[in-house]
Amino acid sequence: MITREKVLLMIQSGEGLGVEFKRRFSSYEKVAKEIIAFANTSGGYIFFGVDDNKSIYGIESEKSDLELINDSALKYCEPPIQIILSSLDIEHKEILVVEVPESKIKPHRVQDYNTNIELNTAQVYVRINDKSVLSSKELIKLMQSKTTDKPLVNYIIGKQEKAVFDYLDKNETITVNELSKLANISERRASRTLIKLVRANLLLIHQKDNGESYFTYIGT
């Protein structure tokens, strides 16, 4: 159970990678988007009854909002996401705190009733700074590999991998498109190469707000 003191501290600190404010329940899909983003990243908290500017407005109906939020997590997220709901009195107004643990079965997406994830259409969200944004295809593939595949061992470094290292020796970052042009290979093959290097703990993957992934040496 989250404490009142921790809630007050997080509200004072404002929105960020692990905190999102919602003045009121908007729609199942929008709430599912936020829950999914936290579950696909490193977990976090959603505060209902708190505005973006940290003002406390409270909620109208605890029971109704609890049901709506819980339905968003269980019926509008695929796979369903287990959340922890708490209500607290702040400034004589009731707010709801939704704790979303980091998932062990990533990636989650907005319910689309497809059997498998369609990379071009699936609404898979991740948390970037204080925003929930659509995930890149590379990040989706990496989440899938971490959930279903074993870690790479005895990974053989080939021409494409050497091209990546040579490029990063002179540049801070590399993208799928840059590797594709550099090594004269398809973007699909470039994407696969970079993902394998991340899985082998040789590179880190990052994502911009616009959804584009880029890769760096670990520690960069």
Q: Would you list the DSSP string of 105-148?
A: SPPPEE----SS--TTT---EEEETTEEEEPPHHHHHHHHHHHH
Report residue 152's pLDDT band, with 50, 70 and 90 as the boundaries. Answer: low
Per-residue pLDDT reduced to its tens digit, 79-92: 999 999 999 999 89
Mean pLDDT of 24-31: 94
Q: Tell me which fold the domain 4-134 belongs to.
A: 3.30.950
**pLDDT mean over 13-27:** 94
Residue 58 C-alpha from the chain's centroid: 27
Q: Residue 211: what pLDDT?
A: 82
pLDDT band at 218 (very low <50, low <70, confident <90, very high): confident
Domain limits of the chain? 4-134, 142-217
CA 59/CA 50 separation, integer angstroms: 9
The third-level CATH classification (topology) of the domain covering 142-217 is: Arc Repressor Mutant, subunit A (1.10.10)
Helix axes 187-199, 137-148, angle to 10 degrees: 40
The mean pLDDT value of the chain amounts to 92
User: Computed over its alpha carbons, how large is the radius of gyration of the chain?
Assistant: 20
Predicted local distance difference test score (pLDDT) of residue 209: 83
* Residue whose token pair is 């490029």: 167
pLDDT tens digits for 153-193?
Answer: 667 788 999 999 999 999 999 999 999 999 999 999 999 99
Q: Where are the alpha helices (DSSP H) in the chain?
A: 4-13, 28-40, 62-75, 137-148, 159-170, 176-183, 187-199
With 0.85 as the threshold, say if the pTM is over it.
yes
Q: Do domains 4-134 and 142-217 have the same CATH topology?
A: no
Q: pLDDT tens-digit profile of 66-121? A: 999 999 999 999 999 999 999 999 989 999 999 999 999 999 999 999 999 999 99
Question: Could you say which DSSP state residue 56 is in?
Answer: B
Asked if residue 30 has pLDDT above 90, the reply is yes
Q: 3-class DSSP state for residue 216? A: strand
Distances in Å between the Cα of 107 and the Cα atoms of 96, 117, 208, 213 are 26, 9, 18, 16
Distance of CA 198 to the CA centre of its chain: 17
